[in-house]
């Protein structure tokens, strides 16, 4: 019963954490729209595989993870560049209907599973998110330093992330139908989401830098 509770807690946190617009879930939605549901599910599977790996790392090496500020700063800048490139690619795809409305970054020749692994690996946002939640759960003694607890927690996280991404994957397909299969309009919307995400990411990074200087 306790393991089921931990699984449900991990699932709930992960599902709700996946619903706000972000790089990976919006990318999964665009892949679903341009390439189909199966490639999008493969992308999401690769992304969540890395996410649960990061969670596992944060659980067994919390002190080490806390000290890796330089790595996180580099990954933050690299992620910002990727988001900007995704926004530009989405706007280009929307402006050129002859290209079937495909984002050249997301619709490349790389298998979608490995694309999901790559994009998730360079996205450091999930690390402090799960580090914070794990710390809270440890403090409340909901999560204990046991392998069985870790396995149930990670299993719940994987299921929650996958279900959250499915909302975007199948929701994107529904949106295309609502827009009468006009992918260009959806590409403009997705490009705008990526652009706003890039602005928010840059604002947070500049704010964090100012705090460290002061």
- Render the burial of 53-85: b for 16+ CB within 10 Å, e for the rest: ebbbebbeeeeebeeeeeeeeebbeebbebbbe
The residue segments making up the domain with residue 77 are 19-121+161-213
pLDDT at 143: 87
In a domain, 94, yes or no: yes
Query: What is the arithmetic mean of pLDDT over 85-107?
Result: 67
In this structure, the number of other CB atoms found within 10 A of the CB of residue 147 comes to 8
Q: Is there a domain that residue 115 lies in?
A: yes
pLDDT tens track for 138-164: 888 888 888 899 999 999 999 999 999
pLDDT digits (tens, 9 = 90+) for 35-56: 889 999 999 999 999 999 888 8
Residue 148 forms part of a structural domain: no
Q: With 80 as the cut, is the pLDDT of residue 83 above it?
A: no
- Range in 9-23, 44-58, 94-108 the model is least confident about: 94-108
What is residue 68's predicted lDDT score, i.e. its pLDDT? Answer: 62
Mean pLDDT, rounded, of the chain? 79
> Is 142 part of a structural domain of the chain?
no
- Residues 177-187: tens digit of each pLDDT: 666 556 677 77
- Inter-axis angle of helices 69-95 and 23-34, to 10 degrees? 30
pLDDT band at 117, cuts 50/70/90?
very high
Q: At residue 60, what are phi and psi to the nearest 5 degrees?
A: -95, -10
Number of domains in the chain: 1
Asked if residues 85 and 122 have their Cβ atoms less than 8 Å apart, the reply is no
Residue with tokens 């909901």: 142
Residue 80 resides in a domain = yes
pLDDT of residue 145: 82
What average pLDDT does this structure show over 162-175? 87
Cα torsion through 32, 38, 42, 45, rounded to 10: 90
Domain assignment present for 33 = yes
Lookup result for tokens 């705008």: 192
Q: Is residue 177 part of a domain?
A: yes
Is 13 a member of any domain?
Answer: no
Residue of 179, 180, 201, 204 whose CA lies nearest to 189: 179
In the three-class reduction of DSSP (H, G, I as helix; E, B as strand; rest coil), residue 167 is classed as helix
Token reading at 4: 């089921």
Identify the pLDDT of residue 178: 66
Q: Whole-model pTM above 0.85?
A: no
């Amino acid at each position: 019963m306790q393991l089921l509770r931990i699984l449900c807690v991990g699932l709930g946190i992960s599902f709700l954490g996946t619903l706000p617009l972000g790089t990976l879930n919006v990318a999964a939605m665009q892949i679903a729209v341009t390439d189909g549901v199966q490639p999008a599910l493969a992308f999401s599977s690769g992304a969540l595989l890395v996410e649960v790996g990061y969670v596992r790392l944060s659980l067994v090496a919390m002190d080490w993870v806390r000290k890796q500020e330089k790595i996180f700063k580099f990954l933050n800048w690299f992620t910002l560049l990727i988001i900007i490139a995704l926004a530009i690619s989405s706007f280009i795809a929307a402006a050129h209907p002859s290209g079937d409305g495909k984002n050249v970054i997301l619709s490349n020749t790389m298998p979608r599973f490995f694309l999901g692994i790559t994009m998730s690996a360079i996205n450091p946002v999930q690390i402090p998110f799960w580090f914070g939640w794990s710390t809270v759960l440890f403090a409340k003694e909901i999560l204990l330093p046991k392998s069985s607890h870790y396995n149930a927690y990670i299993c719940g996280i994987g299921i929650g992330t996958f279900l959250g991404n499915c909302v975007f994957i199948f929701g994107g397909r529904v949106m295309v139908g609502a827009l009468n299969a006009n992918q260009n309009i959806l590409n403009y919307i997705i490009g705008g989401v990526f652009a706003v995400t890039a602005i928010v990411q840059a604002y947070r990074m500049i704010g964090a830098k100012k705090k460290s200087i002061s």
